Structure 1
Amino acid sequence: MSMKKSMIVALGLMAGTVSAQDGLVMVDQGAVYSEAMTEATLEVALASSYVWRGQVLNNDAVIQPQITLAQYGFSLNMWMNYDIGSNRNGVQRDVSEFDFSIAYSLPMDINQMAIDVGLVNYNFPANGTYNTDGLTEGNKSTTEAYLSATFLSFKDLFIPSVTLFGDFEEVEGTYVLFDVFVPYELSEYVGLAAGVTAGYGNTKYNDVYWTADGTGDFEGEFSDYSLYATASYEVSDRLTAGVTLNYSMLNGDSFKNGATAAGYEADDKVWGSLNVAYDF
């Protein structure tokens, strides 16, 4: 995408969401960008909670570092979550997740639309008190493929995108993330953005992630929504700092009850993060 994004939430490949913009894979957690992308970007985020697709995996503070290598439209990303406080699986002062992703930005311009494709491999070390997110015992990882379309016709006013995630390993479900945000460049060095997201899971996806044992009677429907605001400051040509505020909410009592059954640590959640990114 040939434009500056001061900060992008995702969500968020995600680690969740996948956001693959500017040829850089971002894992659902949101990343800080400076205007001139280099071949390597190192980012560290300190977040008040770990929330992924409406699931509050840790109500306490976490540290989330990541590194991305990007060139010729391809990007490789490694992302990690370190729990400072105890997460829902009892992990504390340890790594509870590390993800690998690869993405490709298609070299085409179709009616002001950017297309990205990629893979995300999620890994959960066996250091918790019980199994993670419906994955079968002994299988602490799963993989998603994704396709993302970002619409740039009105990029000076708002930027909508839609990303389809398909898990083809353990979960075998589908999740669709809809995102619309409004960018605003306050100055040459300060960028602002505010947006809203909505997440839709099919029957299989919702049954796995919103029940205690990975089986249930959910239908395909919207599971979660979020509001977010970001601000970033370009400290130098290579260093960018940012802050993000998020409000995540679930779609009705069935998902709130599912969150309790699955062991998530909250229903609706306000959380924020401080991010620092350095381009090599």
Structure 2
Amino acid sequence: MKKNTLILIILLTSALSNTFAQEANDTPVSSAYIQLPVVSAYNWRGQIIDDLPVVQPYMSITHRGFTVSAWGNFSLDDKYTGKHDFSEIDLTASYLIPVSFAEISVGIIDYLPTVQADWELHEMFLTAKYPNDWIIPRVEAYRSFNDYVGYYLLAGLSRQFELSKKLALAADFYSGFGSSKWNIYSFGVDGDRMNDGAVSLALKYQLGSALYVTPSIKYAWLWDSKIQTGADETLPAASSDSDMLIGCLSMEYSF
């Protein structure tokens, strides 16, 4: 884990240096993005990691198709972390493959928990989506490496409606599938199964040239009854009802 983390930190530092260098040359080949969401609960791939409000800051830097990013989960309550602190930090490095017909990315993710020392996960992934003016389909595939714990697949559809020059409404649906080893690792349930699904609505308002505020709401659920039972028995923030309504208020800035 330390080796993977070191590689990602080096990539992040290199990207930062390249970004500043390009800014000095006034050449627009690099970009950065910052997001600060406050979320009513932390639900990931159907797993209720934290059923209390959290802050999940995200930052990414892109240079010539290469992107490095950092994401964190900051607990606003000490129920699971024991204090107001980050319970998890994830580092990602990816590359956008230069093709004209779709947006295809490959990369690796290093999940770094700060509370559960015995939990760690490293994944390689491939994502693809087909941008168009109607409905945007996407597929995502994640496979663990080092300690192999299976794979997770996701398929989704999204659509954005321009309500005005500064206001847009986005609708999204996705469904996830887990391999047998992934389901044993995540829920203690054997067998390849449909895992989770979610629908969401987001209202994105432009405050400035690159500043946005986005309130959103998501309804998430687990498809399989055995997965639901496993979630109740194994997850630290397990709820008696696997269906969950999640609210979010996010600020976004790109430069």
Give your verdict on TM over 0.5.
Answer: yes
- The superposition leaves residues 83-136 of structure 1 with CA deviations (integer Å, 9 ceiling, x where unpaired) of 11245x454411100000011111112xx32211111110001x3xxx4xxxxx
Identity value in percent: 25
Aligned to 1:201: 178
Q: Which has the higher helix share?
A: 2
Aligned to 1:151: 130
SS of residue in 2 equivalent to 1:172: coil
Aligned to 2:86: 95
Partners of 1:231 and 1:100 in 2: how far apart? Answer: 28
Partners of 2:151 and 2:226 in 1: how far apart? Answer: 19
Aligned to 2:144: 167
Partners of 1:61 and 1:37 in 2: how far apart? Answer: 37
Report matched runs for 1:175-194 at 5 Å.
Answer: 175-194=152-171
Verify the 8 A CA contact 2:95 2:107 in the aligned structure 1: yes
Partners of 1:176 and 1:189 in 2: how far apart? Answer: 34
Verify the 8 A CA contact 2:29 2:64 in the aligned structure 1: no
Aligned to 1:265: 238
Aligned to 1:55: 47
Return the TM-score normalized by structure 2. 0.83
- Return the letter of the residue paired with 2:86: V
Report matched runs for 1:222-237 at 5 Å.
Answer: 222-237=194-209
Partners of 2:200 and 2:82 in 1: how far apart? Answer: 27
Task: Give the superposition deviation at 1:177.
Answer: 0.8
Structure 1 208/58 Cα, relative in aligned 2: closer, same or farther at 3 Å? same
- Return the letter of the residue paired with 1:265: A
- Return the letter of the residue paired with 2:74: Y
Aligned to 1:119: 108
Aligned to 2:20: none
Partners of 2:29 and 2:223 in 1: how far apart? Answer: 37
The structure whose RCO (Cα within 8 Å, separation 6+) is larger is: 1
- Return the letter of the residue paired with 1:147: L
**Aligned-pair Cα RMSD in Å:** 1.8
Please, which runs of 5 or more residues in structure 2 have no aligned partner?
Answer: 1-27
Partners of 1:50 and 1:92 in 2: how far apart? Answer: 17
Partners of 2:168 and 2:107 in 1: how far apart? Answer: 27
Verify the 8 A CA contact 1:142 1:171 in the aligned structure 2: no
Task: Give the superposition deviation at 1:189.
Answer: 1.2
Task: Give the superposition deviation at 1:255.
Answer: 1.1
Please, which runs of 5 or more residues in structure 1 have no aligned partner?
Answer: 1-35, 132-137
SS of residue in 1 equivalent to 2:57: strand
Tell me whether 1:242 sits opposite 2:242 in the alignment: no
Structure 1 86/270 Cα, relative in aligned 2: closer, same or farther at 3 Å? farther
Q: Identify which of 223, 226, 243 aligns with 1:254.
A: 226
Structure 1's consecutive aligned runs of 4 or more residues displaced over 2 angstroms after TM superposition are: 89-92, 138-141, 169-172, 263-266
- The superposition leaves residues 200-226 of structure 1 with CA deviations (integer Å, 9 ceiling, x where unpaired) of 000000010002xxxx4x211111111
Partners of 2:40 and 2:29 in 1: how far apart? Answer: 28
Structure 1 164/76 Cα, relative in aligned 2: closer, same or farther at 3 Å? same
SS of residue in 2 equivalent to 1:271: strand
Structure 1 184/37 Cα, relative in aligned 2: closer, same or farther at 3 Å? farther
Partners of 2:150 and 2:248 in 1: how far apart? Answer: 29
Aligned to 2:252: 277
SS of residue in 2 equivalent to 1:39: strand
Equivalenced residue count is 225
